[in-house]
Amino acid sequence: MNSIQFLENENQLLMIRAKVVGKKLVKEGPFGTLVYTIKQMKMYRGFSKMPHVQYIHTEASESLCGLKLEVNKYQYLLTGRVYEGKMYTGLCNFVERWDQLTLSQRKGLNYRYHLGCNCKIKSCYYLPCFVTSKNECLWTDMLSNFGYPGYQSKHYACIRQKGGYCSWYRGWAPPDKSISNATDP
């Protein structure tokens, strides 16, 4: 699932902004492991699990969900898990070039998503879909984008509102008057 905020709600997740500065193929396992050396710019989640990340491990083969990252070219937003003191990531984790994130996503990471820590994002894969408690936001990107980040995950954050209810919020940009409210989550 490619919603940054959804991933941020998971307990065992590391989330960092980093630039890849090197890579090395290591023979761990039958197909090998790629170890990327990174320069960590910022950690958004996972301080207690690993306060500083210097290396990221992934399968060497893309067919085994290994990532191919470019060295000395881009900054990335990377998510992954800690196992035996090492950060592991792959194709099933959220990985995106920093310059490809929307302004709403970047601002959300820095200012907004932490406000939704008590909210849960409920995925909707097919209709009908309903929230079952006041701390849920219904994520509908899966209906029309087949798992790829859609308008909702690129421009909204699930935030606890007055009265204790969670709902989608797009507080950093004026509403687009050319779009009917029916398209808003």
> Residue 28 — left, alpha, or beta (φ > 0 → left; ψ -120 to 50 → alpha)?
beta
pLDDT grade, residue 181 (50/70/90)? very low
Residues 67, 91: Cα–Cα separation, whole Å: 6
- Tell me the pLDDT tens digit for each residue of 88-135: 998 878 888 999 988 878 877 776 666 656 778 787 878 898 889 988
pTM reported for the whole predicted model: 0.68
**In the chain, which segments carry CATH 3.90.370.10?**
103-170
Determine what percent of the chain is predicted with pLDDT higher than 90: 23
Q: Is the pLDDT of residue 178 over 90?
A: no
Q: What are the residue ranges of CATH 2.40.50.120 in the chain?
A: 4-97
In Å, how far from its chain's centre is CA 170?
17
pLDDT for res 182: 36
CA distance 60 to 38: 17
- Phi, psi (rounded to 5 degrees) for 113: -60, -30
Q: Which helix (H) or strand (E) holds 4?
A: helix 4-8
Give the CATH number of domain 4-97. 2.40.50.120
Which of 4-8, 82-86, 178-182 tops mean pLDDT? Answer: 82-86
Spell out the CATH class of 103-170. alpha beta
